[in-house]
Amino acid sequence: MTITPQQLVAEAKAQIRETDVAGAAKLLNEGVLCLDVREPAEYEAGSLPGAINLPRGVVEFRIGEHPAFADKSRPVVVYCKTGGRSALAVLNLQRIGFTSLVSMSGGVEAWGQQGLPLVKDTTRYGG
């Protein structure tokens, strides 16, 4: 049976934790790690403050190389442009042992619509 990309994301979202922008902002203010799974050019155009960039295409392969993610139980907010890629990333990262992940629904677009700050940072860690 073939499914659409939207169905794939919906299935992922049914198996993960999600939070809205307000919930993500609260977690980030508490010091929770922030993972941006967008492509490098998207990240460089504007990201959440303190976000670490590991693009969706390599996140499962490269996350173990970053010391901030050594503890797989450490809480992490994961985001992308609108929430689809982050949902898929969270599902796969859960499958490889990460236990405290949350995807930010609406992604960076929703963050920006709330008037929250974005930073331009080219000192990313990524793929």
Handedness of CA 60, 22, 45, 125 (dihedral sign): negative
Question: Do strands 101-104 and 76-79 pair parallel, antiparallel, or not at all (unpaired)?
Answer: parallel
Three-state DSSP class for residue 97: coil
The answer to whether 39 touches 68, Cβ cutoff 8 Å, is no
Q: Which of 80, 89, 90, 108 is catalytic?
A: 80
| Active site annotation includes 80 | yes
Residues noted as catalytic:
80
